[in-house]
Amino acid sequence: MKQEAKAAAGGPATLWDRTRQLASREILDTALRLFTEQGYDETTIAQIAREAGVSQRTLFRYFGTKEELLGGDQERFGRVLTETVGGQPTGTGAWEALRAGVAAVLALHESREDALERFRLLHRTASLRAGWLEKRLRFQEDLLPLVEARMDGVRDSSDPGARAVVAAAFACLDAATTTWVAGDGEGDLMDLYDRSVAAVRGRP
């Protein structure tokens, strides 16, 4: 968003930027509340817009799809993931680079509570789960050459090693978030991810 671009550049946010950010936050909060109260599939865009006090046209200027109202811009998540993994220093191993990417994506959530509600809805809503799995496959393909470059003995994409590592990292994230949701947000999500990775890699 423009607010983020200005912040990254170190420039002050304008009144217009701040107004847009507040409106966006109000829409997201309203959507998350309705999704939690009555279910994702049962909540309509018209209802979210009405309760947030905006028109549907305005809502779609901020968010292109209903799915973005739950998880934010998942394309942005994919960009942050690949940029973080690809930007790790030379010599950083594949697993360590992927961990940095996972941590960067999780840090995009506004708060621990928001993350918990979003993961809870994701795991309990079949339509959202299916959409996430489809995007995840694309994210894995984007990560593949970045991980291949960090693995000794992997020559090219005909070697399954890097693909297995990427898929395992996503499986570990699934295991961590599922455990976290089942425990109502108890503990640290990255700690659960690390424990999942250690189990997969056969490390204590």
Distance CA 50, CA 32 (A): 14
The structural domain count of the chain equals: 2
Give Cα separations from 41 to 20, 51, 122, 177, 178 (angstroms).
27, 17, 12, 21, 21
All residues at 6 or more sequence positions from 185 whose CB lies less than 8 Å from its CB, including other chains = 112, 113, 116
Kindly report the backbone phi and psi dihedral angles of residue 70, in degrees, each rounded to the nearest multiple of 5, phi listed first.
Answer: -95, -55
Cβ atoms of 142 and 105 within 8 Å: the answer is no
- 63 and 119 in a common domain: no
- 176 and 83 in a common domain: yes
Tens-of-pLDDT digits for all 204 residues of the chain? 334 444 444 555 676 566 667 778 788 888 888 888 888 889 999 999 999 888 988 888 888 788 778 765 667 788 999 999 999 999 999 999 999 999 999 998 878 888 898 888 888 888 888 888 888 899 999 999 999 999 876 666 677 889 999 999 999 999 999 999 999 999 999 999 999 999 999 877
Distance CA 122, CA 116 (A): 10
Domain end position, chosen among 19, 35, 69: 69
Closest CA to 177 of 163, 198, 164, 191: 191
All residues at 6 or more sequence positions from 169 whose CB lies less than 8 Å from its CB, including other chains = 95, 98, 99, 102, 197
CATH number of the domain that residue 167 is part of: 1.10.357.10
**How high is the pLDDT of residue 93?**
94
Closest CA to 97 of 165, 161, 171, 8: 165
Distance CA 192, CA 37 (A): 28
Left if phi > 0, otherwise alpha if psi is -120 to 50, otherwise beta: which for 187? left
- 96 and 64 in a common domain: no
Closest CA to 28 of 128, 129, 113: 113
The model's pTM is 0.76
Q: Which tokens hold the place of 105?
A: 């994506």
Domain end position, chosen among 69, 100, 121: 69
Rounded to 10 deg, the angle between the 2-9 and 15-38 helix axes is 130
DSSP state of 187: S
Domain end position, chosen among 69, 93, 126: 69
Closest CA to 85 of 23, 148, 42, 136: 148
- 180 and 97 in a common domain: yes
